[in-house]
């Protein structure tokens, strides 16, 4: 199969609309072709593409910024001598000056299929800026490694942020190219938007969204594997808690734990509360000691969520519910446990809202966890209609 970048590099006919135009590239470390050449180098080698600028999203073009809210600077690329503008530095939206040096931007970002992963919002901001300035946006499409399944409630009005680009469920089941079409339609953007589609991509085929023959390259520092991408729609919620999400280990955002919980008891309680939410994955008791960030240097008792291996069932795995269930088990076992980060933690620079609520696009999940009398059916009743509605809403925009 071919990703969008592979098709654009191989087919001069696809590149013809770029003739005579100044071209920008939005990319990160996973922006590579099938031979692992970076897209910036590969496009620069073409005689018929004139690269005049580049953009780096969160974590930077180089992927060197380890954690959230660590900003990147603008710089001049030392090889290609073009400006590289940071869309996670002094600004999140491109400024007028950043829009000036180019006519069309090629967005070649590997995504993980989750509303909160900020490359999705960066796409929206580029589309909005391009609509204002009369520029073109092309997405060089890539797989959604989490595949087509949909999970989680939609973001509620008033919770829009850099980690919430619109009324989208946590796990949306679309590629960035497809999401771009949804953005253009939903926000009624008058913009020249096109997608260089993948060739031979089967989201329900082998790999369940990620083609096994392609190398996984970290799109951000803590996205080390396809298993992380599958689990992320649930494990990202750990960023709103005092539990470690595994930063400072080799398996971040696949695991959770803390020095002061009993992980074996948590797993047992999860099976007791909602065993039907645990299909398709394996929960494994682990111990780990983060080398930095939460609980640095402390021995943590934790859980590894395996959305992989012989017991993996792609259609049954529900990472958002799995992680919600873990929170519920901890609250049941340790009612006074200090689970949620407070208002003093300004998640993605937001004021006046808890991080867990910003992540979920509303307070319901936190309230469900904290309500002693709530049942799994209550969460299903809240999220289920949103999930069903999204499956219908996205249909006109699916390309594969």
334 within a domain of the structure (yes/no): yes
Domain-located, residue 382: no
> What pLDDT score was predicted for residue 72?
78
Q: Provide the CATH number for the domain around residue 98.
A: 3.40.50.12170
List, for residues 188-205, the tens digit of each pLDDT value: 999 999 999 999 999 999
In this structure, the answer to whether residues 15 and 162 fall within a common structural domain is: yes
Domain membership flag for residue 388:
no
The pLDDT, as a whole number, for residue 64 is 65
Give this prediction's pTM: 0.96
Chain centroid to Cα 53, Å, comes to 24
Pair 262, 179 in one domain = no
Work out how many domains the chain is built from and give that number.
2
Mark whether 231 and 208 lie in a shared domain.
no
Phi, psi (5° rounding) for residue 278?
A: -105, 10
Looking at the fold, whether 170 and 254 belong to one and the same domain comes out as: no
Q: Which residues of 247-271 are buried (b: 16+ CB within 10 A; e: fewer)?
A: bbbebbbbbbbbeebebebbbebbe
**pLDDT in the model for residue 67:** 60
Has residue 66 got a pLDDT over 90? Answer: no
**Do 233 and 188 share a structural domain?**
no
- Look up the domain containing 209 and give its range: 4-220+393-397
Same-domain pairing of 186 and 250:
no
Same domain, 253 and 310: yes
Helix (H) and strand (E) counts in the chain: 12, 12
Residue 332 within a domain:
yes
- Supply 117's token pair: 């992963």
In the chain, pLDDT over 90 holds for what percent of residues? 94
Clarify whether residues 177 and 290 are in a common domain.
no
Q: How confident is the model at residue 351 (pLDDT cuts 50, 70, 90)?
A: confident
Asked whether residue 386 is domain-assigned, the answer is no
* DSSP-assigned beta bridge partners for residue 23: 51, 104
123 assigned to some structural domain: yes
Report pLDDT for 350: 82
Q: What is the pLDDT of residues 122-175, one digit of tens each?
A: 999 999 999 999 999 999 999 999 999 999 999 999 999 999 999 999 999 999
Query: Cα dist. 236→38, 136, 223, 360 in Å?
Result: 28, 32, 11, 10
pLDDT at 69 over 70: no
Residue in the structure block whose two tokens are 């539990």: 243
The Cα–Cα gap between 24 and 84 comes to 9
- Whether residue 37 sits in one domain with residue 80: yes
pLDDT one-digit tens code per residue, 7-47: 999 999 999 999 999 999 999 999 999 999 999 999 999 99
In the prediction, which pLDDT does 59 show? 87
Mean pLDDT of 263-270: 98
- What is d(CA 239, CA 65) in angstroms, rounded to the nearest whole number? 17
Alpha-carbon span 325 to 275, nearest angstrom: 10
204 and 289 share one domain: no
Average pLDDT, the chain: 96
**Hunting for tokens 């934790």 — which residue is that?**
302
Backbone angles phi, psi at 110, to 5 degrees: -80, 120
Domain with residue 326: its CATH number is 3.90.1150.140
Does 154 share its domain with 259?
A: no
pLDDT per position as a tens digit, 278-322 = 999 999 999 999 999 999 999 999 999 999 999 999 999 999 999
DSSP-derived pairing of the beta strands 300-306 and 169-171: unpaired
Look at residue 337 and tell me if it is in a domain: yes
DSSP string, 327-360: HHHHHHH-TT---B--TTS-GGG--SS-HHHHHH
In a domain, 275, yes or no: yes
Please check whether residue 66 is in contact with residue 293, taking contact to mean a CB–CB distance below 8 angstroms.
Answer: no
336-351 mean pLDDT: 91
Q: Are residues 216 and 232 in the same domain?
A: no
Give every CB contact of residue 218 below 8 A, 6+ residues apart in sequence.
Answer: 29, 30, 63, 224
> For 208-237, how does the pLDDT look when each residue is reduced to its tens digit (9 = 90+)?
999 999 999 999 999 999 999 999 999 999
């Amino acid at each position: 199969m071919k990703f969008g970048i592979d098709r654009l590099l191989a087919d001069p006919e696809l590149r013809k609309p770029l003739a005579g135009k100044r071209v920008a590239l939005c990319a990160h470390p996973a922006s590579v072709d099938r031979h692992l050449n970076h897209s910036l180098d590969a496009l620069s080698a073409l005689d018929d593409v004139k690269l005049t600028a580049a953009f780096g999203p969160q974590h930077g073009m180089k992927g060197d910024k380890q954690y959230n809210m660590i900003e990147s600077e603008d710089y001049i690329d030392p090889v290609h001598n073009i400006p590289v503008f940071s869309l996670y530095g002094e600004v999140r939206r491109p400024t007028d000056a950043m829009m000036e040096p180019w006519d069309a931007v090629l967005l070649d970002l590997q995504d993980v299929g989750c509303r909160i992963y900020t490359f999705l919002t960066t796409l929206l901001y580029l589309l909005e800026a391009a609509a204002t300035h009369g520029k073109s946006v092309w997405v060089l499409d890539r797989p959604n490694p989490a595949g087509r399944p949909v999970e989680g409630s939609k973001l509620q009005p008033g919770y829009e942020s850099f980690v919430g680009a619109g009324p989208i469920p946590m796990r949306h089941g679309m590629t960035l190219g497809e999401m771009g079409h949804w953005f253009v339609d939903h926000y009624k953007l008058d913009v020249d938007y096109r997608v260089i589609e993948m060739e031979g991509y089967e989201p329900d085929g082998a790999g369940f969204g990620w083609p096994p023959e392609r190398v996984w390259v970290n799109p951000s520092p803590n996205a080390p594997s396809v298993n992380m991408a599958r689990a992320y729609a649930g494990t990202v919620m750990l960023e709103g808690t005092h539990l470690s999400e595994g930063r400072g280990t080799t398996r971040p955002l696949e695991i959770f734990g803390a020095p002061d919980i009993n992980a074996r008891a948590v797993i047992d309680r999860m099976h007791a509360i909602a065993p039907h939410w645990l299909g398709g994955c394996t929960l494994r008791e682990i111990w780990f000691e983060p080398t930095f960030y939460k609980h640095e240097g402390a021995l943590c008792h934790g859980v590894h969520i395996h959305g992989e291996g012989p017991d993996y069932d792609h259609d049954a795995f529900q990472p958002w519910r799995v992680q919600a269930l873990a929170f519920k088990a901890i609250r049941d076992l340790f009612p006074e446990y200090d689970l949620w980060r407070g208002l003093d933690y300004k998640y993605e620079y937001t004021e006046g809202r808890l991080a867990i609520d910003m992540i979920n696009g509303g307070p319901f999940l936190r309230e469900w966890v904290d309500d002693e009398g709530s049942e799994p059916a209550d969460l299903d009743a809240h999220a289920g209609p949103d999930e069903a509605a999204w499956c219908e809403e996205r249909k006109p925009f699916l390309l594969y």
